[in-house]
Each structure stands twice: as structure tokens, then as C-alpha cells.
Amino acid sequence: MDKLSEGFEIKEKYIPQIGKPSYLIVSLPDAGLVGSIAGEFLINYLNLKEYAELYSSKHLPPISHVVNGVAKSPLRMYHYENFLLLHSWVAIPANTLYPLARFIIDYAEKYGIQTIISITGVPVPNRLDLEKPTPYWIVNSEDLAKEIDNLNLMKRFTDGYIAGPYAPILIESAKKSVRNFVIVVESFLDLPDPEASAVALDIISKILGFKIDTSSLLKEAEEIRERIKGLMQQTRQEIPNYAGLRPFTYA
């Protein structure tokens, strides 16, 4: 068990060998569970190897995620070729967000991760009327902004606010000059949104260079909503603690 920053400990089954360019994908519950659904889909679709569990009696809620009768930490790490995935199976308390963000940056530095990618949703009032949600990007540096803009995969999130799990990661990564960008997809606020997750996954696959078919995700949208309604309820209770506002508010 390795003790890391901010009162976190991590138990690694093995040391992952990560190809270049290297990425750390972060999928935490937030608006529409866009990141959570995308992360779980990657775990199952690519058969990601679970290699580590993250512990903290100080920061994490007293919840175990039970898998086939085995109790595990709700925060776990997965590995696939050129990326790591940090996935949470429970909503993250608001007072844990900054310590967790600092852990993420320290861990990325430990493994020489070149870019952190976060996935989330931006609630829009006309979500039901959208045939396909629009993706946006937010970055933590001007240099990265030019690079992401040149990919022409998303629109720039121009002016406004970001609150919730991904805001501290942007701030802490900027302080340490670790590249971080957030894929932000139009979504529902407090309803699971697999369609928005599919949009984010399509972008992820193009950036990381592997093929991914999200048709099964779209076909099983209602089943997914039913299966993760408990996580949505947890997240719904935490969202007001993130900012007192909806997670994103345009200026």
C-alpha cells in the first residue's frame, strides 16, 4: 500500500506500462453522469485491466462497491495500452474534490502522464429537443487551447463557469503545468445521459487512436438509466454542494 498526498492510499496489483502519448482519463459522477457512463463503457468495451484501488478514510464516504460478492473501493484505476482510467462508482463529496484533484495531478506526474482528459456534461434547458448534443472543450493553458482547437472535434467553451469535480483538476493541473482538457457535452442535469456520453466517447476514440462502437450504448440507454439511478440520486444530492448552482452556468 503506497501512501500518497492528501490522505490517500493506493494499492496497486502491478505497475502499468503505458504507451506514448500517454493519457489519464478521469470519469467522476457529475451532470447527467456523462463521465461516469463513458468511463464504465470503456471499462467493459475495452475489457480494461483493473490494477489499483484508491483508499481514504479521511476523504471518501463510508461506502464499498460490491462486485460479485467482493467489497472494493469505489475509486479504482484501470489500464489500457496508452491510457489509465480513474473511475468512481460513487458520488464524490464536495469537500473531497480538491484533495482528490491534487492526488490525480501527483499520480499523473508519478507515471509521466502527458495529458489528463476529463469528461462531463453541461446542462441545457432544451436537451430533449436536441437530436445530437454538442461537445465543447475547456483547457488549462493557451498552448493546449491551440492544439485542441486545431483538432476541430469540439467547440470552444467561451465564457462562463465550471464547478464540480472537474474544476479543481483544471486549477491544480495548471499550477503544476500538467496538460488537462475537459470534454463537455450538452446534457441533462439530473437524468443519466448515455447519448451525451456517446458523443464524448467518439471524441476520445479519435484522440487516443482506437476504434469504438457506441451503438450498443445508445441501444441500451434506458437500461443504463435504470441501472445507475442510485448513482444519479447520490450525485443529485451532491450537485448543490459543488457550487450552489447547476454545474455549468454561461455568463
pLDDT for the residue 242? 75
Supply the pLDDT for residue 5.
61
Q: Are 139 and 180 in contact (CB under 8 A)?
A: yes
| CATH 1.10.3720.10 for domain 8-250 | no
**What residue segments make up the domains of the chain, in order of their start?**
8-250
Give the whole-number percent of the chain exceeding pLDDT 90.
64
Distance from C-alpha of 46 to C-alpha of 35, rounded to nearest angstrom = 16
Q: Between the CA of residue 248 and those of 30, 164, 165, what are the distances in Å?
A: 11, 9, 12
Under 8 Å between Cβ of 247 and 206: no
Dihedral angle at the C-alpha atoms of 114, 174, 35, 102, nearest 10 degrees? 90
Cβ–Cβ under 8 Å, residues 238 and 97:
no
pLDDT of residue 3: 55
Average pLDDT over residues 34-52: 95
55: Cβ contacts below 8 Å, ≥ 6 apart: 1, 8, 9, 10, 11, 73
Q: Which of 134, 104, 118, 145 is nearest to 204 (CA)?
A: 118
pLDDT of 1 > 70? The answer is no
What's residue 26's pLDDT?
Answer: 97
> Is the predicted pLDDT of residue 148 greater than 90, yes or no?
yes
Per-residue pLDDT at 249:
39
pLDDT of residue 237: 79
* Alpha-carbon distances of 245 from 146, 156, 180, rounded to whole Å: 30, 22, 24
How many CB atoms within 10 Å of residue 247?
A: 25
pLDDT value, residue 226: 75
β-pairing verdict for 160-162 and 248-250: antiparallel
What pTM did the predictor assign?
A: 0.89
Q: Residue 161: what pLDDT? A: 81
pLDDT greater at residue 2 or residue 225: 225
The whole-angstrom separation of Cα 35 and Cα 26 is 8
Report the mean per-residue pLDDT for the chain. Answer: 89
pLDDT of res. 246: 44
Q: Residue 211: pLDDT band by 50, 70, 90 thresholds? A: confident
